[in-house]
Structure 1
Amino acid sequence: MTVNRPWGVVVDGYSTGNYLPPAFDALGFDLVHLQSTPEPMLTMLQPAAASYREFLVMDEAVTPGLLAERKPAFVLAGQEPGVPLADRLAEELGLRGNGSALSTERRDKARMIDAVAAAGLRTASQLCTDDAREAVAWADSGGHWPCVAKPLSSASTDGVRVCRTEQELRDAVTGVLGTHDIFGSVNDRALIQSYLTGTEYIVDTVSCDGRRRVCGVWRYEKRLSAHGRPLYNRDILVDPADPVCGQLLPYVEKVLDALGIANGPAHAEIIVGADGPALVEVGARLNGNMHPAMHQTCLGLDQAQLTALAYADPERFLSDFADTPYSIRQPAVVYNTPTSLSGRVVGIDDEVVSRMRALPGVVDLTVKKKPGDRISPTEDLLTSPLRVFLTSQDAEQLERDYLVVEELREDVYTVEA
């Protein structure tokens, strides 16, 4: 990094926000990291300090004035908790952004769905409450069985539960209330929604001045646990010529407009059923399953690259990438492995990990646990112990590699009860 290079600010660059610094660096920009909270959010992969020119912690009395004096080129969020602060700072500094008027709708899932429904788009019915009895009465009176209970502003299927009985719903609501979400906020209310039947998809985008590039569409392969929790198995890349994209993409365009996401990345989850698409939720941030090496191989571009381009060279983004569809170079899959193991991890079998890494279609494999960590049967994305990124020109090879990983996955960890 050199002090005379242009620079921008990333607020809360956790998790896949770590892919933003190298993407901006390739375009000649440095980044300053701004932490929105007094202490780091330790539930997520931490930002790599060496990737940033400077690390700042938000101080309302100092930081806005400091940034105004230094004149950054842009401010954007690296992870969902940073969205409101990034929105506000960009607005105050007169920089490209999404404004602060709808910041809450981009974070609070109840207000998000209300805004999308107000735009005339199909959504689930919902109730926001701090009372399990009210939740049961709503489900009974509206015929909303089964229904889904979840926190208002979390991610990674944290606290999400599909409920089919009154007792399950009571347990789900009380299980949310008073707990902390993965971003450290207290859940003082629970969101209850009607259950949407159909197939769930990811649609990833990058916007610049209201014009967009769809980075990719992925189909979720999932099932429900015995406790009603959604277990995500594979994310499978969808061909843009698939007829489902003809329904998804116009719907997502209207969702982003309804939520005021005119600039930066977005990660939308949508269920397509007999009545068409309906939003599950959308985050104004990079996809959590993004992996630049894999995405560049299977798609030619990745969402971090396009985000950097939208802020560092918007004219090029608009002329070369906006309003054009993605194309697939080869099939791809992201596999979040489940486990039935329970106890303390006492060892990792490096030979098994090496065998999986050596498979022709495996681009990368993330071993999430280390010796001393606790491991428990998978109930959500947070408790999946391995993430495997696969792509191959040969779809049959991709399936064979997936099946090998499926066979070996429980041999990675040695666990002591």
Structure 2
Amino acid sequence: MNTSTQDAVLLLDPVNKGANFKPAARERGLAIVSVYTLEPAELHGRWTAHAAGDDVTLYASEAADVVEQLARHPYRICGVVPAMESAVHLAEQVAEQLDLPGNGTKLALARRNKAEMRRVTQAAGVRVPEFQVVHSLDEVPEAADRIGYPAILKPTTGAGSHGVTLLPDAEAARHLEDQERRDLFGWEVAEWLVERYVRGREIAVNCFSFEGRHRVVDMWEYRRPDDADYDLPYWGSVQIDDTDPDWQRVEEFTQTALDTLGIRSGPSHTEVKCSMDGVYLIETGARLPGGPITDQWARHSDIRPFHDALEFYLDQGRQPRLIESAPVFRAICGASAICNEERPGTLAVMRGLEEVRSLPGVDELLVTYQPGDHVPITRNTKTIPLGVWVSGASQEDVMMTLGKIRELVTIEFTEQDES
């Protein structure tokens, strides 16, 4: 029998940004039990130091296996945290088996699988794009022909735009030889969503919920340079505020979507498209946002992203701080993604980095490739050559800084692959 004496938090897939839950838990005096579900080659290849800071490190992908392994260790688990998108479904299963806070398992799959998310929300009257689920890429042309062009192809489980492909016409739908067969987490893709491409503003909405009450923390608009259709939204992004003409309808739509998906507690990240005929749900993740958002919260607001999120996962019986009062922002935040949109090649130099670092309002540069590295076409968050986090006193200041970054940065190749 487990004679637990020390309180601990159970972190599922605490890698990348999710590793920040570890110091947050330490500050609360909690031991750290981590479970890693990711495909082993992906986990050990990308995050070799993933177990750093763990008191207990477990590897499992089934709830029964997790609970069985936990029983062998002398800790009292106080909360179950999905530290990465890959673990949101499993976290609910484990939390329910341990009788700990969570959103329950009834709709847990709909909070992870985009096809099930579409079915549940559509049945409840939430507007979603017309869609069809396929289990082979050979089925894509017929599905896309039925739905109409442009269409979007995406894995039903994944993140970071990995494997998301714009299908502008029937010819594109019939040539998917280069389509990714594994998702961002290294798992083999067995199911895809083919859906109508919705034109309009794309807005990300970040919320915290407690006992069914939802607080919108902020919204970010993904901004492209023109009106062309796209499958990768990461180009430039900036916070919008409640004076924005779409704020109210997006806020109301998002709250309805959260209710429909059974998200009553914890952080969430919802992406929507604002079209002429209304707001459409693109997806909801029942977890903290990724990318620049948590970094910029920590720099420019009174939000402590990982500390505050822990309050929602722990069995503490009191209302979290972010529900009691709205966060205070000291600046408008934004980000730039400098992508390789031409053809793959070997990097010679990335010019303009020092000039960008010296710009007012530039907070952080994330350089993915070094000279000599092969740089593929940017198709997802893993293949963005340069990310720049920025801030300013106004949205106009942020947009001006994003424009200057694009003027300064150039990527030069020593050679270019023809394939």
| 1:217-256 map, 5 Å | 217-222=219-224, 229-256=231-258
RMSD: 3.1
Tell me the distance in 2 between the aligned counterparts of 1:40 and 1:67: 24
Tell me the distance in 2 between the aligned counterparts of 1:381 and 1:312: 31
Task: Work out whether 1:374 is the aligned partner of 2:374.
Answer: yes
Tell me the distance in 2 between the aligned counterparts of 1:47 and 1:258: 38
Q: CA deviation at 1:198?
A: 1.2
Tell me the distance in 2 between the aligned counterparts of 1:163 and 1:414: 28
**Partner in structure 2 of residue 148 of structure 1:** 152
Question: 1:336·1:386 contact (CA, 8 Å) conserved in 2?
Answer: yes
Tell me the distance in 2 between the aligned counterparts of 1:229 and 1:37: 25
**Partner in structure 1 of residue 11 of structure 2:** 10
Match of 2:263 among 258, 261, 264: 261
Tell me the distance in 1 between the aligned counterparts of 2:390 and 2:198: 29
| 1:270-349 map, 5 Å | 270-312=272-314, 317-318=319-320, 320-322=321-323, 325-339=326-340, 340=342, 342-345=344-347
| SS at structure 2 position matched to 1:282 | strand
Q: CA deviation at 1:341?
A: 6.7
Distance 1:290 1:399, change over 3 A: closer
Q: CA deviation at 1:210?
A: 2.5
Q: Which is further off, 17-26 or 94-103?
A: 17-26
Q: CA deviation at 1:225?
A: 11
- Percent identity, aligned pairs only, is 26
* CA deviations over 1:288-313 (Å, ceiling 9, x no partner): 22454521343331543321222348
| SS at structure 1 position matched to 2:234 | strand
Q: CA deviation at 1:28?
A: 3.6
Task: Work out whether 1:31 is the aligned partner of 2:32.
Answer: yes
**Partner in structure 1 of residue 167 of structure 2:** 163
Tell me the distance in 1 between the aligned counterparts of 2:414 and 2:8: 46
| SS at structure 1 position matched to 2:175 | helix
Q: Which is further off, 320-329 or 374-383?
A: 320-329
Distance 1:137 1:292, change over 3 A: closer
Tell me the distance in 2 between the aligned counterparts of 1:231 and 1:362: 21
Match of 1:100 among 102, 105, 113: 105
Q: Which is further off, 14-23 or 191-200?
A: 14-23
Q: CA deviation at 1:54?
A: 2.8
Q: CA deviation at 1:4?
A: 7.8
| 1:112-127 map, 5 Å | 112-127=117-132
Q: CA deviation at 1:386?
A: 1.1
Q: May I ask how many residue pairs the two structures share in their alignment?
A: 408
Match of 2:209 among 184, 207, 210: 207
Question: 2:223·2:236 contact (CA, 8 Å) conserved in 1?
Answer: yes
Tell me the distance in 1 between the aligned counterparts of 2:241 and 2:303: 15
Question: Normalized against structure 1, the TM-score is what?
Answer: 0.86
* CA deviations over 1:227-268 (Å, ceiling 9, x no partner): 953352111101123231211112111212222222222211
Tell me the distance in 2 between the aligned counterparts of 1:73 and 1:323: 22
Distance 1:261 1:45, change over 3 A: farther
Amino acid at match of 2:158: S
Q: CA deviation at 1:317?
A: 4.0
**Partner in structure 2 of residue 74 of structure 1:** 79
Question: 2:356·2:405 contact (CA, 8 Å) conserved in 1?
Answer: yes
Question: 1:7·1:73 contact (CA, 8 Å) conserved in 2?
Answer: yes
**Partner in structure 1 of residue 383 of structure 2:** 383
Tell me the distance in 1 between the aligned counterparts of 2:33 and 2:188: 28
| SS at structure 2 position matched to 1:99 | coil
Question: 1:341·1:376 contact (CA, 8 Å) conserved in 2?
Answer: yes
* CA deviations over 1:304-340 (Å, ceiling 9, x no partner): 332122234855544x422755554322111111234
Amino acid at match of 2:90: L
* Ranges in structure 2 where 5+ consecutive residues have no aligned partner: none
Amino acid at match of 1:185: W
Distance 1:91 1:356, change over 3 A: same
* CA deviations over 1:9-52 (Å, ceiling 9, x no partner): 11011222122223333444342211124626347666753333
Question: 1:14·1:46 contact (CA, 8 Å) conserved in 2?
Answer: no
* Ranges in structure 1 where 5+ consecutive residues have no aligned partner: none
Distance 1:18 1:357, change over 3 A: farther
Question: Normalized against structure 2, the TM-score is what?
Answer: 0.86
Question: 1:14·1:44 contact (CA, 8 Å) conserved in 2?
Answer: no
Distance 1:346 1:5, change over 3 A: farther
Amino acid at match of 1:22: P
Q: Which is further off, 35-44 or 224-233?
A: 224-233
Amino acid at match of 1:242: D
